[in-house]
């Protein structure tokens, strides 16, 4: 099989591993998008910028306050999440009764503003952020050299994804959230503060993006464009998985990471389009997405 | 009487023409560059400011020209570049300067071929601009892929790197750079074990690095630049490329790249370039002015914009016109001399030539502070630094 594709087993397994790691990033990002869309009906185009902001806040914590990676992993999502909640309260909440398109345009505009401001202040070449000393180095797996940090980032991202799935699908709080999506008026009649729940949900989705940003900071250079490049792919992941489907986002994220990884070996020039080709096919055959329910 | 009248009128016309050459010729220079993408630090707003500095310095000495500098963002897309250039031509722009990616450069290059405006390329790299498709209205100023391939390629070969694997962006610049560096490697007894083209711009290079590691090549040649190159170097270190006995050759390296990577990650890299702010008194003085406004030291592309605009304005003043053919002929006939690139000239094919240098990135302990990153290993004389004119196949050179 490997010979027919013109690649060695070493390269093949190496790419599978990398695809899995990249896929876990897609998963955590598309999960946040999916939650926000599923519960708020907002297509959050600021997601990529919020991911970038997570990385920037981690860098700022280190550069200005001397706070390192481990605290940043906790603090940056909280800071960006709170900023997200303010944006939801002040701006997004005014759009719930309007068409999706308004939310999309508002969040897209916010993303451009965030990117522009940071680009103006810090340039585009990027700021260095080091791998924490506990996670430097790597393991020789025989077929590849796997940096410890990548492995850590992938495992943590997946753990957070599964915990989120559990929270939403299996707990009482999650039940409220799903109910708020089905029938907000009824839930409000039961004495639940629905607007506050929506604000917290948006904050949580944004915090997931920022968390992914902190995880990504030591891998990529922290630069204002890092989210813009990724967000389009993540949107495709959400569409393929089915808008609003949580497990769908996780599985599709991982699966597309693998497909993209293999394309990079077989025909690297196509690696940036392969996901969109799959998206087009999925939309033709199953318009609601692989895991989506037809409405 | 009639004759005298005609003579008088002609004389008056000549007089106005002459006085026009001394004062108030309107000159419009458009800086078309990447104001927001991957090349915005090395070109971008800094290039616009470099053009403004050139105008400022020129008009201080000869206030005769009425020069206006405008700018636009071509987003590294050929179609955007050509529609802006088209609009500028309608607005009587006389010269389009900089242009940050080879794909956008070719769009402008072709558009201006039959127009009455000149293209002065400083950031674009592809040596194809002065090759078979050369244009009488294009001047390629600062550097090109041939110079990078030969400068960097030879230096790395001499240091023992005789088998290569390339990682390149999937567009003209990357393809040309790989082709030319491969030729240098093979001509000098080395071998090329493979290459991979990544989508531009890229973010995650791990797959490509893994392929480069699997190839067993001694040298991984990075034929990308800007943010792509920074990410690739960072990730190559992460994946233990150097521990595995391979070395990285960044064929094109800019001061902003090193500033972002840090000396720890980039020390020891050998690369060819034509400019560093710390070369001599002239470059230091100009760079200090640049830094005061921009907050960073200039790249070679930004320095090139300054030098190109200055020479262009000198020729406009000397010929008293902005007619593209007249000005470009004068530019080619007049040797260049400025504080940033020293003495040089523009060849018939549009290639500007000047000395190039082989630089080495300093060790952190040898650096005296921010921006003190490079030491000169050797100087490559102007005539050897660029492709010989007869090898390019430019019809203008025959």
C-beta separation of A49 from A224 below 8 A: no
Which among A22, A230, A272 has CB closest to B199?
A272
DSSP line for A222-267: B-TTHHHHHHHHHHHHHHHH-TT-HHHHHHHHHHHHHHHHHHHHH-
Classify strands B270-273 and B356-361 as parallel, antiparallel or unpaired.
antiparallel
DSSP of B379-396, one letter per residue? EE-HHHHS--HHHHT-GG
Q: How confident is the model over B182-193, as pLDDT tens digits? A: 999 999 999 999
- DSSP string for B320-379: T---HHHHHHHHHHSPEEETTTEEEEE-TTSBEE--EEEEEEPPGGG--STT--EEEEEE
pLDDT at position B4 is 52
Measured CA distances, A3 to A9, A22, A164, B395 (Å): 9, 25, 41, 47
Q: Does A229 contact B170 at a Cβ distance shorter than 8 Å?
A: no
Please report, for chain A, the start and end positions of each structural domain, with discontinuous segments joined by +. Answer: 2-94+145-285
Instruction: Determine if residue A289 is left, alpha or beta; phi over 0 gives left, psi from -120 to 50 gives alpha, anything else beta.
Output: left
**Two structure tokens written together for A278:** 């799959």
Sort out which chain A residues have CB atoms less than 8 A from B262's CB and list them.
128
Does A231 contact chain B (CB < 8 Å)? no
Distances from the Cα of B224 to the Cαs of A34, B29, B174, in angstroms? 35, 29, 6
Please report residues of A whose CB lies closer than 8 A to that of B197: 268-269
Q: Which domains, ranges and CATH numbers included, belong to chain B? A: 25-143+279-354 (3.40.50.2300), 154-273+356-385 (3.40.50.2300)
3-class SS at B171? coil
pLDDT at A210: 97
Q: What mean pLDDT value characterizes chain B?
A: 91
Residue B218: strand, helix, or coil: coil
Sort B114 into a burial class: Cβ within 10 Å, 0-12 / 13-18 / 19+: exposed
**Distance of alpha carbon B374 from alpha carbon B12, whole angstroms:** 58
Distance CA A294, CA A149 (A): 40
Write out chain A residues lying below 8 Å of B244, CB-based.
145
Using an 8 Å CB-CB cutoff, list chain B residues near A230.
Answer: 203
Nearest residue, CB atoms, B260 vs list A11, A22, A125 = A125
Phi/psi of residue B268, nearest 5 degrees: 85, -10
- Among chain B residues, the shortest Cα distance to A16 is held by B207
Dist CA A250 CA A254 (whole Å): 6
The CA distance from B235 to the nearest CA of chain A, in Å, is: 7
Which residue intervals of A66-142 are DSSP H helices? Answer: 69-90, 100-122
Sequential pLDDT tens for chain B (398 residues): 455 555 445 544 444 444 444 457 899 999 999 998 888 999 999 999 999 999 999 999 888 899 999 999 999 999 999 999 999 999 999 999 999 988 899 999 999 999 999 999 999 999 999 999 999 999 999 999 999 999 999 989 998 999 999 999 998 889 999 999 999 999 999 999 999 999 888 888 999 999 999 899 999 999 998 889 999 998 998 898 988 889 999 999 999 999 988 898 888 888 999 999 999 999 999 999 999 999 999 999 999 999 999 999 999 999 999 999 999 999 999 999 999 999 999 999 999 999 999 999 999 999 998 899 999 999 999 999 999 999 999 999 88
| CB contact (8 A) between residue B234 and residue A220 | yes
Radius of gyration for chain A, computed over Cα atoms and rounded to the nearest angstrom: 19
The predicted complex's ipTM stands at 0.86
CA A138 to chain centre: 25
* DSSP three-state, residue A191: coil
Q: What is this structure's pTM? A: 0.86
Planar angle of CA B46, B50, B56, nearest 5 degrees? 140
Select the residue of B203, B210, B296 nearest A230 (Cβ to Cβ). B203
Q: How far apart are CA B267 and CA B225, in angstroms?
A: 17
């Amino acid at each position: 099989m490997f010979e027919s594709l013109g690649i060695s087993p070493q390269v093949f397994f190496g790419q599978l591993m990398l695809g899995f790691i990249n896929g876990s990033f897609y998963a955590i990002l598309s999960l946040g998008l999916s939650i926000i869309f599923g519960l708020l009906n907002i297509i959050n185009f600021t997601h990529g910028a919020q991911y970038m902001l997570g990385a920037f806040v981690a860098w700022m914590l280190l550069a200005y306050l001397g706070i390192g990676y481990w605290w940043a992993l906790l603090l940056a999502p909280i800071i960006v999440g709170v900023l997200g909640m303010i944006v939801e309260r002040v701006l997004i909440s005014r759009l719930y009764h309007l068409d999706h398109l308004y939310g999309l345009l508002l969040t897209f505009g916010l993303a451009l503003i965030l990117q522009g401001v940071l680009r103006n202040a810090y340039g585009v070449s990027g700021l260095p952020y080091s791998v924490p000393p506990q996670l430097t180095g790597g393991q020789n797996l025989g077929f590849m050299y796997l940096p410890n940090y990548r492995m850590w980032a992938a495992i943590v991202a997946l753990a957070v994804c599964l915990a989120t799935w559990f929270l939403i699908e299996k707990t009482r709080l999650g039940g409220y959230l799903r109910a708020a999506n089905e029938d907000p008026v009824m839930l409000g009649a039961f004495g639940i503060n629905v607007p506050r729940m929506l604000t917290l949900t948006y904050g949580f989705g944004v915090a997931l993006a920022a968390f992914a940003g902190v995880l990504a900071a030591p891998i990529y250079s922290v630069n204002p464009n890092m989210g813009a490049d990724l967000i389009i792919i993540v949107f495709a992941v959400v569409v393929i998985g089915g808008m609003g489907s949580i497990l769908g986002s996780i599985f599709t994220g991982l699966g597309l990471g693998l497909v993209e990884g293999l394309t990079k070996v077989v025909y690297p020039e196509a690696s940036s389009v392969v996901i969109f080709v799959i998206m087009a096919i999925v939309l033709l055959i199953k318009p609601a997405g692989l895991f989506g329910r037809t409405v | 009487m009639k004759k005298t009248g005609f003579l008088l009128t002609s004389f008056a016309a000549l007089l106005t023409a002459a006085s026009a050459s001394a004062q108030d010729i309107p000159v419009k220079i458009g800086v078309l560059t990447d104001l927001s993408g991957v090349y915005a630090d090395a070109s971008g707003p800094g290039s616009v400011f470099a053009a403004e500095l050139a105008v400022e310095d020129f008009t201080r000495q000869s206030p005769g020209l009425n020069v206006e500098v405008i700018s636009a963002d071509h987003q590294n897309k050929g179609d955007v570049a050509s529609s802006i250039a088209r609009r500028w031509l309608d607005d009587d722009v006389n010269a389009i300067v900089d242009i940050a990616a080879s794909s956008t450069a070719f769009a402008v290059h072709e558009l201006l071929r039959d127009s009455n405006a000149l293209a002065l390329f400083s950031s674009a790299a592809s040596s194809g601009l002065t090759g078979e498709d050369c244009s009488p209205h294009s001047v390629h100023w600062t550097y090109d892929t041939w110079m990078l391939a030969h400068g960097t390629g030879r230096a790395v070969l001499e240091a023992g790197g005789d088998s290569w694997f390339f990682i390149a962006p999937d567009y003209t610049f990357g393809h040309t750079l790989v082709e030319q560096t491969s030729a240098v490697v093979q001509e000098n007894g080395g071998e090329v074990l493979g290459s991979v083209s990544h989508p531009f711009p890229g973010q995650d290079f791990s797959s490509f690095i893994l392929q480069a590691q699997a190839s067993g090549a001694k040298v991984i040649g990075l034929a990308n630049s800007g943010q792509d190159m920074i990410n690739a170097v960072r990730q190559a270190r992460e994946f233990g490329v150097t521990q595995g006995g391979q070395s990285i050759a960044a064929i094109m390296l800019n001061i902003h790249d090193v500033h972002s990577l840090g000396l720890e990650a980039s020390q020891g890299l050998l690369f060819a370039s034509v400019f560093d702010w710390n070369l001599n008194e002239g470059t230091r003085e100009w760079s200090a002015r640049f830094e005061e406004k921009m907050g960073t030291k200039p790249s070679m592309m930004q320095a090139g914009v300054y030098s190109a605009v200055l020479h262009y304005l000198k020729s406009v003043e000397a010929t008293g016109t902005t007619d593209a053919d007249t000005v470009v002929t004068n530019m080619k006939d007049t040797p260049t001399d400025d504080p940033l690139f020293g003495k040089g000239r523009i060849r018939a094919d549009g290639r500007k030539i000047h000395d190039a240098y082989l630089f080495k990135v300093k060790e952190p302990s040898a650096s005296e502070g921010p921006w003190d990153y490079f030491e000169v290993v050797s100087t490559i004389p102007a005539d050897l630094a660029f492709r010989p004119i007869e090898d390019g196949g430019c019809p203008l050179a025959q």
